[in-house]
Amino acid sequence: MIKDSLSFRETECFSQLICDYLDQDPKLKGFYNRFPTLENFKDQIAAKSNFSLEIRETLSNDLQAQYREAGIELKETHPTSQNIKSLKEATTFTVTTGHQLNIFTGPLYFVYKIVDAINLATNLRKQYPQYNFVPIYWMATEDHDLEEINYINLYGGKLQWNTSQKGAVGRMNTAGLDLLIEELAEHLGPAQNSKDLIAIFRKAYLESDNLAAATRVLAHQLFAEQGLVIVDGDRKALKAFMKPVFQDDLLHHSNKERVVEASKDLNQLYFSQVFPREINLFYLKDAIRERIVKKDNQWLVLNTTISFTEDALLAELDANPERFSPNVVLRPLYQECILPNLAYIGGGGEIAYWLQLKTMFAAQKVEFPCLVLRNSVLWIEPKWQNRIADTDLKIKDFFKPLHKLKAHYLADGMPVDPSLDEFETKIQSIFDELEQIAQLTEKSMLGAVNAQRQKQLNGLANLKKKLVRAEKRKHKVDMEKIERIYYALFPNASLQERHDNLSAIYPIEGVNFITTLLKELDPLSFSFRILRG
């Protein structure tokens, strides 16, 4: 295994906000509690040590029920079973990542997130052996954005699950995915690794009643031995603990004020990722997940005929808390209320919106977690390694936009600097002298001198373009080779991890892909990892 890494700033693929956060820029300190270092987790553990034993008991029992309902039988000695039971203990804490229920795992970073959670829990156990640490994957089962999760990119095309179902995606049945799995099998071919992956998908999607259960089975199969615990928040027993928070949001809208206040401060420095509403809850029932809005003295469920008076709303919340579904602003608070959690692991966009939420957490008296930027990975297969070596370019060069990459390659190979800066400097110097002569003889000549200056500079610029075009023609084959490599590493000019699916790598690497990630990814290294198969 050949490996390398770049800082996130070096890649030029991440926002200024994220790069400054990783540099622990003082101007961001007010937006989080503790930066995630192994040493800082000591104080994070202490801050979370009074977590409710009642919630621990309910959480552990409900998680056991979730696995049973998904058809997963956990033996007493299974690492996941042991972790679930340990959640009842005051010395157990969690580290969490979350993701949508993308079919077939979706983009590769789904895998990287979970590996980071597993590895962070492992590292914390070594640092603080008196405690237990459980890696959590929080499934976004209540999301209703089907178009974000119903496809994968593969080999330059797209495989898409078309269904007319509405509402929370976790509750949707998996009808139609059988046909998509067969189509995927044809694409992947008869190799054993391909067969193994298809078998994983078949077990997950063809033996499960809904997408939430299927995604649980899928993630459990991939990480069965690492003790990963998978949480579905769409549960009455868990949401019962959120009644006071939900009631406050429904009646007083105070969360909006708190997030808006923090967002204004952050916006002065960068930009906002999320925008809170007066009410940050959806009404969730059967195939309905629609926003709740207040109009006069009524609470309306948009796009339905459902409405509540205040008394009826509070009665509904008390009897059926599972029917109230938090949006992107309240979901993090829900998560931290029901988990003894120390850290949240997410991508750049997630970390950015979490930074808007600290004020809301403080007002609700909920400890704010450490925010861990997940590892990013570029996985390079041997054939592309060899082709990169043939170009004399470095892998770092390929992080440039394609036109800059080509220009960089041409500049290195041309006999003269294609920018022609030296010649422009000489022209400017000559005309500076001519301008002085004109001032001494006839000032009216200055206009003619400067016109001639501009004419010569324009001519030089045109000559530069012709030289570059000639060099491109000369290196046409090299340009085509570089372009093929670039799009292999950055499909659609985007990061591989945001575009490609597990199905692009697993048929070649098999389970070695997962084991390599578990070995190589350090969640607190804050680096962009380049791994070569």
Condensed to tens digits (0 to 9), the pLDDT of residues 76-87 reads: 999 999 999 999
Alpha helices in 367-420 (DSSP H): 382-391, 402-413
Domain-embedded: residue 343:
yes
Alpha-carbon distance values, 249 to 1, 306, 323, 326 (Å): 51, 19, 15, 10
Find where tokens 């029901």 sit: 338
Q: Kindly report the backbone phi and psi dihedral angles of residue 28, in degrees, each rounded to the nearest multiple of 5, phi listed first.
A: -100, -5
Alpha-carbon distance values, 248 to 243, 278, 334, 401 (Å): 9, 11, 13, 48
CA 344/CA 34 separation, integer angstroms: 12
Contacts of 431 (CB under 8 A, 6+ apart): 449, 450, 452, 453, 456
Confidence of residue 179 (pLDDT cuts 50, 70, 90): very high
Count: domains in the chain = 2
Find where tokens 């000695």 sit: 77
Helix (H) or strand (E) holding 173: none
Domain-embedded: residue 256:
no
Residues 99 and 58 sit within 8 Å (Cβ to Cβ) = no
Same domain as 481, residue 525? no
Out of 60-64, 257-261, 270-274, pick the least confident.
Answer: 270-274
pLDDT at 370 over 80: yes
Same domain as 163, residue 136? yes
Residues 403 and 482 sit within 8 Å (Cβ to Cβ) = no
What's the one-letter identity of residue 448? Answer: A
Domain encompassing residue 159: 2-241+329-380+508-532
Query: DSSP labels for 433-499?
Result: HHHHHHHHH-GGGHHHHHHHHHHHHHHHHHHHHHHHHHHHHHTHHHHHHHHHHHHHHSGGGS-HHHH
Phi-psi region of 156 (alpha: psi -120 to 50; beta: other; left: phi over 0): left
Closest residue by Cα to residue 261 from 381, 366, 181, 356: 356
Query: DSSP labels for 68-95?
Result: HHTTPPPPTTSHHHHHHHHTTSTTEEEE
Condensed to tens digits (0 to 9), the pLDDT of residues 417-469 reads: 555 778 888 999 999 988 888 887 887 888 898 899 999 999 988 888 887 77
Domain-embedded: residue 432:
yes
How far, in whole angstroms, is CA 298 from its chain's centroid? 38
As a whole number of Å, the end-to-end CA separation of the chain is: 6
Residues 419 and 464 sit within 8 Å (Cβ to Cβ) = yes
Domain-embedded: residue 164:
yes
Domain-embedded: residue 131:
yes
Residue 226 has a CB neighbour count (10 Å cut-off) of: 19
Mean pLDDT over 313-329 rounds to 98
CA 330/CA 276 separation, integer angstroms: 9
pLDDT at 165 over 90: yes
Same domain as 514, residue 487? no
**What pLDDT, on the 0 to 100 scale, is given for residue 474?**
72
Domain-embedded: residue 291:
no
CA 181/CA 501 separation, integer angstroms: 14
pLDDT at 191 over 80: yes
Q: Kindly report the backbone phi and psi dihedral angles of residue 529, in degrees, each rounded to the nearest multiple of 5, phi listed first.
A: -90, 135
**What pLDDT, on the 0 to 100 scale, is given for residue 417?**
57
Q: How many CA atoms lie within 13 A of 257 on its CB side?
A: 7
Condensed to tens digits (0 to 9), the pLDDT of residues 469-517 reads: 777 777 788 889 999 999 999 999 999 999 999 999 999 999 999 999 9
Same domain as 52, residue 10? yes
Same domain as 334, residue 477? no
Q: Is the dihedral of CA 291, 297, 298, 302 positive or negative?
A: negative
Same domain as 99, residue 162? yes
Query: DSSP labels for 109-147?
Result: HHHHHHHHHHHHHHHHHHH-TTSEEEEEEEE-TT---GG
Question: Edge-to-edge strand order for the sheet containing 527-532?
Answer: 2-7, 527-532, 376-380
Same domain as 362, residue 426? no
pLDDT at 350 over 90: yes
Q: Which residues are registered as beta bridge partners of 136?
A: 96, 229
Which pTM does this prediction carry?
0.89
Find where tokens 């770092």 sit: 396
CA 363/CA 119 separation, integer angstroms: 32
Same domain as 479, residue 373? no
Alpha-carbon distance values, 478 to 92, 118, 420, 466 (Å): 56, 42, 23, 18
As a whole number, the mean pLDDT across the chain is: 94
pLDDT at 396 over 60: yes
Q: At what angle do helices 211-222 and 192-206 cross, to 10 degrees?
A: 140
Helix (H) or strand (E) holding 362: helix 358-363
Same domain as 398, residue 376? no
Closest residue by Cα to residue 90 from 46, 128, 37: 46
**What pLDDT, on the 0 to 100 scale, is given for residue 403?**
92
Structure token digits, residue 93: 């804490």
**What pLDDT, on the 0 to 100 scale, is given for residue 446?**
85
How far, in whole angstroms, is CA 256 from its chain's centroid? 24
Domain-embedded: residue 186:
yes
CA 56/CA 59 separation, integer angstroms: 5
Closest residue by Cα to residue 227 from 56, 81, 374: 81
Same domain as 475, residue 333? no
Same domain as 361, residue 454? no
Domain-embedded: residue 110:
yes
Same domain as 522, residue 462? no
